[in-house]
Amino acid sequence: MINDVIFLHYCMHLTGETQAMKWPMRLRVVLYLAEALEYCTSKGRALYHDLNAYRVLFDDDCNPRLSCFGLMKNSRDGKSYSTNLAFTPPEYMRTGRITPESVIYSFGTLLLDVLSGKHIPPSHALDLIRDRNFSMLTDSCLEGQFSNEEGTELVRLASRCLHYEPRERPNVRSMVQALAPLQKDVETPSYELMDMPQAGASSVQSLPLSPLADACSRKDLTAIHEILEKTGYKDDEGTANELSFQMWTNQMQDTLTSKKKGDSAFRQKDFTTAIDCYSQFIEVGTMVSPTIYARRCLSYLMNDMAEQALSDAMQALVISPTWPTAFYLQAAALLSLDMENEAQDALKDGCAQETSSSSGR
């Protein structure tokens, strides 16, 4: 496990003018992650918290890695899970606990992400598999890059991982053994497969920076707070309508109360309370708000919790893949982790998205 890495832009389609991830690189991603899980298991850490695509990392040479964030202390007891309920292992719904087999289930959802380029709920994916409707599971950007046999094998592996009964799922070692023979272009460096330059980041000094980008580049947390507070929730497309529609239930009312308390604490710079309240809002899982993640990200930074902040910045990017704010906050978190090159990359990506958005108006 290594820490000096940068998060993958979810999902398999990178933003801006970058091409979709090639098939050999997608196969490399899942093999390397399986090997990382096997390593964790060998070290007595078989439980990995909430495995999903935004736990994927790249090092300086674009080799895929697994975030150490999922190995949090509170995942050891098997009681912690925060993903959308549609992607939660069925045994967790029954017992409230995860097991090593639960991690395999989540790995199956990741295999589907790699094949489809989308985050397809397992129940829907299994229906498509039973109907042999593989075309709906395959990313159209991959046309002609792999054979039917290769696609069928990846679907087979995913369906085994997603078996309802945990004991019927393969172990992580067998997944490594199954994925290794599928690898293609094994001699080609990852940075070439990703069409990225090797080990180096371009400077952002020559780029025109917006006030938020500038504040994040300087890790000026006070200025970032002022900008986020002033911006509010204007970038949450559709969220306001969803909240007003769902607020009739008691659960939604409690959720809205948590959000309001979080906003109040954030405004008053009580960032510890803000983290707690926003976490309550997020854990319900029925409403999606990139701004909530952005605000909790800054709250984590204010509490010197840079890894958690980076995770939230990337989760905001999962929800809104072209949102400049998410890139800028990612840069601030990376700077807090002394990852200067990766922070400059994130700033550059954010500037590119902001420029693209402005020119499209």
Residues with a catalytic annotation lie at 50
d(CA 93, CA 166): 13
Report the C-alpha gap between 254 and 265 in whole angstroms: 16
- Which residues are bridge partners to 120 per DSSP? none
Q: Tell me the helices (H) and strands (E) count for the chain, helix number first.
A: 16, 3
- Provide the 3-class DSSP secondary structure of residue 204: coil
What strands, in cross-sheet order, belong to the sheet with 6-7?
A: 6-7, 56-58, 64-66
What is the C-alpha separation between 222 and 209, in angstroms, rounded?
Answer: 17
Q: Is the separation of the CB atoms in 216 and 354 below 8 Å? A: no
Q: Give 57's DSSP letter.
A: E
Q: Sign of the C-alpha dihedral, residues 13, 120, 360, 235? A: negative
